[in-house]
Amino acid sequence: MDEAPERALAGLDPYASMQAEAQRIAAWCSALDERGWGAPSRCAGWSVRDVVAHLASGEAYNRACLDGTVAGFLGDLAARGATDLASANELGVADFEGWSPAQILDTWRARAAENLARLRGRDGTDLDTSVGPYPARRQAFHLAFELAVHADDVGVPVRDDERAARSGWLVRTARFLLAEAKPDLTIEGDDVTTRVRGAGVDVTMGNETFVAAVAARLPDDALDARARSLCAVTP
């Protein structure tokens, strides 16, 4: 195993970050009324309700990783017509058609809590994933980042007393995700900015912009198209 990512993420607890982000989403969504649940999210075409349904559906994949049944899970999705990640995600959201927001939220919270406990218990081992055996701890960083991105997608506010620490682990995780996905890039950064070089691109941006770039959440006018494409990692 390449130890560089572990050094880059030293001192961070991805399981604690997963738990904190899940709690932030759950607390915020628990207080929403019908209008709030139906409000558009930052994910094109999805409401807040759809994003939480996506989270609940995603826990089925997380459980398959823990159970070692990912091949069967993906086969079932293909049999239902999924041809790529986007179509699989749409199927997952559709599975909750007719459910109330409260039912979706409760289902996600229960699944997420169980999977987090199991994932934490697998620290130091490999999981079965769509890309083959993969370290549980690294997977937890992917999942923590996804939760944080979706929290922002649905407008969960960030308290002043949590902002600095949250921003710190997010930018370090974003650098790891980009370096892992595109190892030919050179990524350098400090507490304020991140510089990305490679494939004919040399761009320096504020860390908040960098996190949004890795999450593919930048507006079209934030960076040129080539830089946005190079930095984007997560759907």
Low-confidence ranges of the chain (pLDDT < 50): 1
Query: pTM of this prediction?
Result: 0.95
Strand partners, 49: none
pLDDT digits (tens, 9 = 90+) for 124-170: 999 999 999 999 999 999 999 999 999 999 999 999 999 999 999 99
Contact, 96 vs 53, CB < 8 A? yes
Angle made by CA atoms 170, 175, 177, in degrees to the nearest 5: 90
**Cα separation, 235 vs 230, whole angstroms:** 13
Amino acid at 86: A
Coil, strand or helix at 206 = strand
The mean of the pLDDT values for the chain is: 95
pLDDT for position 5: 59
